[in-house]
Structure 1
Amino acid sequence: MSQPVTCQPVATVSPLTQSSEGSWSSGRYDCCSDCPMCCVGLLCPAILACYVSRKYGEHCCLGLVPGGMTALRTHMRLSYGIPGNVLRDAMSMCLCGLCELCRMGREVHARSLT
């Protein structure tokens, strides 16, 4: 005869209730905290997108692919333990793309210095 299998319940964490292990090092509109990076982002966002992708460890052309920066923001947020969800990532990149790109640039720069 076979024995009944009992399992411990597994705790699940939804994306909305993640522990806030980390947070963004700067706000979305903190352009004055790194003016040169924000100037590059506003004047030529393709260059900053390639820089962010490369600095984060991805291929530099990821920043030029449609949806690439949204995917990179999601991956960056998850790997740094920043709470949020994919919908917020997509909406942030659609509505405030240049500001988010500058914030991602500041984030990879700040985290590579530590």
Structure 2
Amino acid sequence: MAHPVTVQPAPMIPTAFSIPRPGTWSTELCDCCSDVGICVCGTFIPCILACKVAQDYGECCCLPCLPGTILAIRTGLRERRKIPGNVCGDWLIMTCCSCCALCQLARELKVQYSV
């Protein structure tokens, strides 16, 4: 006689990411190997990735056409997740490492909505 199932399987957590702790980014700024697809997209077609980031954040996908919106999204996401930092630091990162910062935002939003 078969035994009834009494335990439900646990949800699968992506192995490339860890569950983000409050107050930290789920991946580092230059952590390209954690999601190669996002890295390739952010390197070769960052405008498409910027539109996806805006859409995943809950904004219009055309919003990145306006200057400074990805900076505003980064600052908003950082404040929402209570990650230490300030607007000047966000601006510096977006100015000096824009592709890496955009990829980090995409990975953060992917982790946030997949867990």
Verify same fold: TM over 0.5: yes
Are residues 1:94 and 2:98 paired?
A: no
Where structure 2 has 5 or more consecutive residues not aligned to the other structure, the ranges are 1-20
Kindly state the Cα deviation for residue 42 of structure 1 after the two structures are TM-superposed: 0.5
1:7-28 CA-partner distances (Å, limit 9, x unpaired): xxxxxxxxxxxxx942100000
**How far does residue 102 in structure 1 lie from its aligned partner after superposition?**
0.3
Amino acid at match of 1:50: C
Distance 2:71 2:105 in 1: 11
C-alpha deviations, 1:12-52, integer Å up to 9, x for none?
A: xxxxxxxx942100000000000001100101000000001
Aligned to 2:81: 80
| 1:55 counterpart residue number | 56
Overall identity of the aligned pairs, in %: 43
Q: CA RMSD in A?
A: 1.2
Deviation at 1:64, TM superposition (A): 2.1
Partner of 2:23: 22
Distance 1:70 1:94 in 2: 9
Unaligned runs of 5+ residues in structure 1 are: 1-19
Partner in structure 1 of residue 46 of structure 2:
45
Query: Where has structure 1 moved over 6 Å in runs of 4 or more?
Result: none
Secondary structure of the residue aligned to 1:28 is: coil
Q: State the 1:54 CA deviation.
A: 0.2
Q: Please say which structure displays the higher CA radius of gyration.
A: 1
Which structure has more helix as a fraction of its residues?
1
